Amino acid sequence: MAGATLAVVLGVGFAVQAAALGRPGAKPMLVVRVVAQLVNYHDSRATMTVGRSRLSAVCRQTWIHHQREVTIGFGDGRTLIDNGTTLVPTGQLEIDEFELAGCPRPLTEWLASQINRGAPLDVNATRVFGKRVYRLRFPTARPELELYVSRRGALPVALRIASGAIRGMSELRYGFGSRELALRFSEEARSMRAW
């Protein structure tokens, strides 16, 4: 009797959850794969076109006084700092440049918040910078970012801002984990000032 009742508890408990809440579809699971890739990185670099100007950017995530800080150094010598609540300096251009830099943590959080809120998601297979990618687009998000991720590993390869006054696109690279490489890329970013 006890065994049968407990089997019913197990079966009904599971069935109620499965029937009522179901499981996520393929599109949100693709975003999960992207996030799973991004959380492995603490820095990124981007070459971006915003309006008519081209820029290089190096993004680095650090912990300062138990607070996560994201610093983006641009090839033209400017720096953007985000401490999780405030971006300095603040302006629409800076916000768009910040988005296009593709910093792993902010991009991860943005993607997760869109999925958690149930924002509609369009996914298309396409090619960008010669790579076979999926284009992920949340039509209701502002700014409307398009994220291009590699079809094989789901790592982001490009970002595009498709709405608002400022249009821009960036090519992203992740995975220069060591300090030496990061410094080299910073130097490289500075030397690209003339772009």
133 closest CA partner among 105, 181, 169, 93? 169
Cα–Cα distance between 69 and 81 in angstroms, integer? 7
The contact mask relative to another protein for 12-31 (x = CB under 8 A, - = no) is: xxx-xxx-xxxxx---xx--
**Cβ nearer to another protein, comparing 22 with 130:** 22
**Least CB distance to another protein at residue 27 (A):** 11
- Based on the shown chain and the rule CB under 8 A, indicate whether residue 175 belongs to the binding site for another protein: no
156 closest CA partner among 27, 38, 26? 38
Provide the Cα torsion 113, 115, 118, 122; round to 10°: 130
Which residues are CB-contacts of 127 (< 8 A; sequence separation ≥ 6)?
133
Cα–Cα distance between 28 and 9 in angstroms, integer? 30
**Least CB distance to another protein at residue 74 (A):** 27
| Phi–psi pair at 29, nearest 5 degrees | -70, -30
- Based on the shown chain and the rule CB under 8 A, indicate whether residue 117 belongs to the binding site for another protein: yes
Number of residues that bind another protein (CB under 8 A): 33
- Based on the shown chain and the rule CB under 8 A, indicate whether residue 86 belongs to the binding site for another protein: no
**Cβ nearer to another protein, comparing 24 with 177:** 24
Which residues are CB-contacts of 192 (< 8 A; sequence separation ≥ 6)?
47, 55, 56, 75
- Based on the shown chain and the rule CB under 8 A, indicate whether residue 167 belongs to the binding site for another protein: no
- Based on the shown chain and the rule CB under 8 A, indicate whether residue 118 belongs to the binding site for another protein: yes
Q: What are 123-127's contacts with CB under 8 Å, separation 24+?
A: 123/27, 123/30, 125/151
- Based on the shown chain and the rule CB under 8 A, indicate whether residue 112 belongs to the binding site for another protein: yes
- Based on the shown chain and the rule CB under 8 A, indicate whether residue 9 belongs to the binding site for another protein: yes
**Cβ nearer to another protein, comparing 72 with 111:** 111
Interface with another protein in residues 31-50 (CB under 8 A): 32, 35-36, 38-39
Which residues here bind another protein, judged by CB under 8 A?
1-2, 5-6, 9-10, 12-14, 16-18, 20-24, 28-29, 32, 35-36, 38-39, 66, 108-109, 111-112, 115-118
